[in-house]
Amino acid sequence: MRKIVMTLLAALAVGCADDSMPVVQMPEIDTSNPLLAEWDTPYATPPFDQIKVTDYKPAFETAVAVARAEIDAIANNPAKPTFKNTIVPLERHGELLRRVSAVFYNLLSADGTPEMHQIAIEIQPMITEYENDLSLDPKLFARVKAVYEKPGRGLSKEDKKLLENTYMSFVRNGANLSDENKELYRKYSAELSELSLKFEQNALNATNAFSINITDPEQVAELPAFVKEGMAADAKARGEKGWTLTLQAPSYGPFITYSTNRPLKEQAWKAYNSRALGGEFDNTEIVKQIVNLRLKMANLLGYPTYADYVLENRMAENVETVNSFMQELLDATKEYAFDDYKAISDYAHSLGLQGELMPWDFSYYSEKYREEKYALNEELLKPYLQLDSVKKGVFLLANKLYGLEFKPSKDIQVYHPDVQAYEVFDKNGRFMSVLYLDFFPRETKRGGAWMTSFRDNYIIDGKETRPLVSMVMNFTKPTENMPSLLTFDEFETFLHEFGHALHGMLGEGTYQSLDGTNVYRDFVELPSQIMENWATEKEFLDLWAVHYQTGEAIPVELIEKIEASKNYLAAYSNVRQLSFGMTDMAWHSLKEPFEGNVETFERESMASTQVLPVVEGTAMAPAFNHIFGGGYAAGYYSYKWAEVLEADAFSLFKEKGIFNQEVSEAFRREILSKGGQEHPMTLYVNFRGHKPEVKALIEKMGLGK
């Protein structure tokens, strides 16, 4: 372990020859714990097979102690504060804690056992206390402030951005508060950390708690083979007979789309849309507590609302801009969204639907209508979207755009048998990253899809450490008789998350906190959402999309149908997405503590976007992980914001060619490699030549034509 300690000390002392660092009093370290020992693995990847659940808590305790010792050394340095002896060591400190945290929290989301969730509860107060002690340390802040006010000469643009971010991080985390208010800040942040963790656990448990076991073959006879196969596999895994419907996306979504059994679909839809709304895993009180604590914290820091606090560090900059942006999009598309609903409703009634078209009917009839109008359905597409073929296509796209090569590795350990590891190289043979791919759902994995990293890129003393990037999805699993065939939505999801992965893998910065996806939340979705555009490009699909059984290339007619239908229900989908952003902003624009009814508040906040009929006893807030468990509070609008960016950005690819090297190199240089080194609007304008406009998205959706 001595070697690791010396490495940490060297990291702290970078560039400090003119004002030496005091000796760091390091705590005793148990090197038998694999999380604390040196990783003699390819690219220093985590040795997952050596890590036991019992290793995590002691590893956190040691890593926090090491980080505290490093902070004490910086705060108590008798030398005059400089960028090199204060800001850089602050950026470098906590490497051991970052490493332990990355392994634990990534696995908690992707393969979290009940024991790990219990550990998360136990360690959260310790982590929060450490983070508060750091940001509220008066001696440390005094040094940071001194450098911020007199930074000295010779700082690069990247250095200046790190200095600005470091200073503002202290201020935004309470460093300027009175001693009394600092204690309140500690209290609020500790409670928020605990509540957010509990919220996510309740949402996961509520999702896993529901299932319907079907033993009557007649009730599944109409379903496509891939749906029945998946339900049969779920039943078998649970020790049940027949077919089992769950609320996991690969089960719930296809059943709602293809089944004509309205009572069962209504039951499943209501269960999905009332997860954690009452019952054993109720999150409604936690929602109230979270929004009220966020409001208290914002007020304490001098902001009228939590949204004002959040948006200070976003491209949009303020509440007024966000609300105006969403309203402009809503005004431009709402009429068309109602037209979309009416078209599906009229079609459903023409096929004999009795009564009002309800939310649990919409997927079935919209899929049928798409099939009739465009002669296109998922069953036609899925044979050409076999997972291995899609993966090949996505890798090929990265090669054509950025010259990347992906080599599967059996030497790099993975955390679950489903996970695949790849070494990623550029066209010159330079190692860029490790990429982990985790495709399939399991009860220990939370829902959705995300990109994350076990390590970001950074440079110390001229030595570069490249990132370890992971993509986690919940795609349709292969069965005994059928490989994993993706829906078109899953294909787009793959491209989306791969865009995030490219952002993480292609970073070229000195500092971790400014690298890869460490950018403003309303900018981070640009690299991901722009990738979805290639899903409907014939020139791309022609290169790899073949029938998994016959090897036949995807027919030209089918590609034409994909292109013709790509704006199908575009207005409805846009308004639906805006409804999520608007309810998020409503929750976080509160100026008084909320003690009302969660379901009622949500319904009122989404009223202007309501297209489908309202269903009593449902609400998304209690399971809305993005804003109550994740990092999208007062930021869910960013998906639509990024759609405007990507629509404008991709228009340049369309103009010059979807594989154009000049455009792709500019996108890599100005967007993917720069991370958060400059303001995102500056980076965007550097790439595109002008600021983005909402009309780019409206035109892309084909509305008004």
Which residues are known to be catalytic? 497
Tell me the angle at which helices 319-350 and 638-656 cross, rounded to the nearest 10 degrees: 80
Spatial separation of the C-alpha atoms in residues 435 and 439, rounded to whole Å: 13
Nearest alpha carbon to residue 44 among 7, 79, 81 = 7
Q: How many CB atoms lie within 10 A of CB 195?
A: 19
| Strand arrangement of the beta sheet that strand 431-438 belongs to | 405-408, 420-425, 431-438, 468-472, 450-455
Q: What angle do CA 519, 520, 526 make, to 5 degrees?
A: 80
Q: Are 431 and 425 in contact (CB under 8 A)?
A: yes
Backbone angles phi, psi at 35, to 5 degrees: -75, -20
CB 325 within 8 A of CB 694: yes
What angle in degrees, to the nearest 10, is found between the helix axes of 284-300 and 570-588?
60
* Closest residue by Cα to residue 677 from 518, 475, 545: 518
Q: Which residues of 538-572 are buried (b: 16+ CB within 10 A; e: fewer)?
A: eebbeebbbebeeeebbeeebbebbeebbebbbbb
Structure tokens at 63: 């890593």
- Measured CA to CA, the distance from residue 241 to residue 64 in angstroms comes to 49
Alpha helices for 638-694 (secondary structure H): 638-656, 661-667, 680-688
Distance of alpha carbon 115 from alpha carbon 306, whole angstroms: 33
Closest CA to 99 of 46, 43, 160, 173: 46
Distance CA 85, CA 82 (A): 5
| Residue burial 108-125, b: 16+ Cβ < 10 Å; e: rest | bbbbbeeebbebbeebbe
> Would you tell me how many other CB atoms lie within 10 Å of the CB of residue 179?
8
| Total residue count of the chain as it appears in this document | 705
Q: What residues contact residue 38 under an 8 Å CB cut-off, 6+ apart?
A: 1, 3, 4
Long-range contacts made by residues 114-120, C-beta under 8 angstroms, separation at least 24? 115/53, 116/53, 116/56, 117/201, 119/53, 119/56, 119/57, 120/197
What DSSP character marks residue 668? I
Question: Of 357, 239, 428, nearest to 615 (Cα)?
Answer: 357
What is the Cα–Cα distance from 572 to 612, expressed in whole angstroms? 10
DSSP string, 501-537: HHHHHT---S-GGGSTT-S-TTTTTHHHHGGGGGGG-
CB distance 291 to 588 below 8 Å: yes
